[in-house]
Amino acid sequence: MIESAYETYDVAILGAGFEGGLLGTILARQGAKVLLIESGTHPRFAVGESTVRHVFRMLKIIGERYDVPEIIEKFSSADSIHKHVTTMCGEKRNFGFVYHREGQDQNASECTQLVIPPFREGYEAHLYRQDIDSFLTYTAINHGATVHYRTSIADIDIQDDGCTLTSSQGDVFKSRYIVDGSGYRSVLAMKFRLREEPSRCSTFSRSLFTHMLNVTPYDATVTPRGAHGMPQPWYSGTCHHIFDGGWLWVIPFNNREGSTNPLVSVGLQLDPRRWPKPRDVTPEQEFHHFLERFPSMAAQFEKARAVRDWVSTERIQFSSKRTVGDRYCLMAHASGFIDPLFSRGLPNACELINALAVRLLRAFKDDDFSPERFDYIERMQQINLDYNDRLVNCAYISFKSFELWNAFFRVWVLGVGLGDLRLTSAHRRFTATHDESVLPDAEEPMGLFFAHHTGYKKLFEEACDKVEAFEAGTVSAHDAARHIFELMAAADYAAPANHLADPSKRYVDQGETVTVLKTVAWLLTSAPPDIKKMGGGILSDLNPRRLMSRKVTPEPSAI
């Protein structure tokens, strides 16, 4: 049925996934006339399953800022999602990295782990996206959004007075603005030739992924049990098996009490320059041929079988010359993509949605959609892409040497920790004052969570310089790692209790009681003024009930 020529929406959102559903919910809740256009239906498979603390902090801000009760009550923590949205999600208590060498059993001393503190939002989540995306889209509908499923847009015409979208079936839709959340095959990117060819990204990887049954917890394959000496079992979080030229993710949905989902997300990321894509085997055959080279990894998948068709890609990196134009904006995953390493996709999406929604609402009110009003969105997306690219590319380079990875791992940990501190401070101030000027999108783009901080920005760039020098052959892995540890030792804004400058301390657990107490003492005494100011809220984590209520992670055999 062709839409009436007089039916004009405030915004047409292409794609009813996480991004489209969340933005549609916010705008519809605020009274905007929202059209969601989805080429498929719900439920449907999607990747981007592992959250980080940044996601739920941003969702709390979004829920309060835009007065969306469903986000505040049901979608601002892993626990609330498990209780109110779906029982199909897993739990994420750590980022685990296990280093492997081709043809050798894994050396238990070669691993690193970032433990997720249970305070405030609690542990992170492994999102079963078909349930999550459905929930967000149905919430948007509940607030008044209109959704058209099985609708592919064939053409878009943007004029001074509005936008006309024509589907492949001949249906016509009109809107004042278009937001494209349809990913790599973005209709707007194709129409306006926004893609950079070739992409400016330095990271170079391809992917194979699926969902599997009967994946053995990696902890159960290690002899003796607990040989790695990490504070958390690998299966209680997102496990990254890393090696020269790539990494393999294991994201269990069945790793918490109360989960009703037996599946595990499994994906293999490979640099095709080191691991060329074979043309004479199926993706499943390639996966198993790969495992034959890594005996300790293979043990986890001896009984596993895929329940979805394997997806095998060419290079996954892409970038755009611009992401904002006359009456349109590309969302995070339509504007560019690097790699799933470090789970940056969902936090980037939440940052973008938080900043875009307020600008759209003002544009609707003023009837002014000039690209200049969205300039911050352009800068945010381009800066986020560039920082993430350099971070991930240097991580891939460091996979050539565990010593170098052990050092570079801490560069990422420090950025995440400081960014979390900053966001916690912003959320606390916003809750107290409802002053939007304290929120992240009132400042320079956050980039690598804390990249605008002079000290961390300098450390990040110098560390990357050394890693890239190692790749160029002008410095050894040992010397590059030593330099990074020296940078960590000199970082007076990094809490000493985390021992980031000590290569023998292969994990960071900011939730340990002794670490919390030492960090608070440092904040009260010798921390730099800007860190001290942001860290004031950590005192609430000293509530004895918070410290005593930490759950004990079950052994893998009991999960």
| Nearest CA among 22, 70, 76 for reference residue 54 | 76
- 76, two tokens: 């601002």
- Biggest CA–CA distance in the chain, Å, is 70
With 0-12 / 13-18 / 19 or more C-beta atoms within 10 angstroms meaning exposed / middle / buried, residue 107 is middle
Task: Note the pLDDT of residue 526.
Answer: 92
In this structure, of 306-320, 516-530, 539-553, the range with the lowest mean pLDDT score is 539-553
The pLDDT value given to residue 447:
57
SS3 category, 553: coil
Q: Give the distance, in angstroms, between the CA of residue 357 and the centroid of all CA atoms in the same chain.
A: 20
pLDDT digits (tens, 9 = 90+) for 72-128: 999 999 999 999 999 999 999 999 999 999 999 999 999 999 999 887 778 999 999
Same CATH topology for 8-89+127-196+321-390 and 97-117+204-312: the answer is no
Strand partners, 211: 265
What number of CA atoms fall less than 13 Å from residue 410's CA on the CB side? 31
Tens of pLDDT, residue by residue over 419-434, are: 888 888 888 989 999 9
Is 52's pLDDT higher than 80? yes
- C-alpha dihedral (54, 58, 61, 62), degrees to nearest 10: -170
Can you give the pLDDT at residue 558? 36
Mean pLDDT of 221-247: 95
Model pLDDT for residues 124-175, shown as the tens digit of each residue: 999 999 999 999 999 999 999 999 999 999 999 999 999 999 999 999 999 9
Per-residue pLDDT tens over the stretch 471-493: 999 999 999 999 999 999 999 99
15 vs 49, 194, 200, CA distance in Å?
Answer: 17, 18, 26
Count of residues making up the chain: 559
Give the contacts of 558 (CB within 8 A, at least 6 positions apart).
Answer: none
The DSSP 8-state label assigned to residue 503 in this structure reads T
So where are the chain's domains?
Answer: 8-89+127-196+321-390, 97-117+204-312, 401-559
Whole-angstrom CA distances from 422 to 348, 415, 428, 455, 461 are 16, 10, 10, 14, 20
The Cβ-side half-sphere exposure at 485, using a 13 Å CA radius, reads 18
**% of the chain with per-residue pLDDT over 70:** 93
Q: Residue 190: what are its φ and ψ, rounded to 5°?
A: -70, -45
| Whether the predicted pLDDT of 191 surpasses 90 | yes
Q: Which residue has the tokens 């950025």?
A: 415
Strand 172-180 vs strand 162-167: parallel, antiparallel, or unpaired?
antiparallel
Asked if residue 551 has pLDDT above 60, the reply is no
Q: What is the DSSP letter of 160?
A: T
The CATH number of the domain covering residues in 8-89+127-196+321-390: 3.50.50.60
DSSP secondary structure string, 456-497?
HHHHHHHHHHHHHHHHHTSS-HHHHHHHHHHHHHH-TTS-GG
Are β-strands 328-330 and 324-325 bridged in parallel, bridged antiparallel, or unpaired? antiparallel
Domain 97-117+204-312 belongs to what architecture?
A: 2-Layer Sandwich (3.30)
Q: What is the torsional sign of CA 538, 540, 541, 543?
A: positive
Query: Looking at residue 450, what is its pLDDT?
Result: 64
C-alpha to C-alpha distances, 492 to 70, 114, 391, 486, 532, nearest whole angstrom: 41, 21, 22, 12, 12
Helix (H) or strand (E) holding 259: none
389-426 residue pLDDT tens:
999 999 999 999 999 999 999 999 999 988 888 888 88
Q: What is the pTM of this model?
A: 0.94
Strands 311-312 and 153-159, bridge-based pairing: unpaired
Mean pLDDT for the chain? 92
Distance between CA atoms of residues 95 and 464, nearest Å = 21
Alpha helices in 30-167 (DSSP H): 53-65, 69-74, 78-84, 129-142
Residues 6+ away with beta carbon under 8 Å from 225: 219
How does strand 153-159 pair with strand 162-167? antiparallel
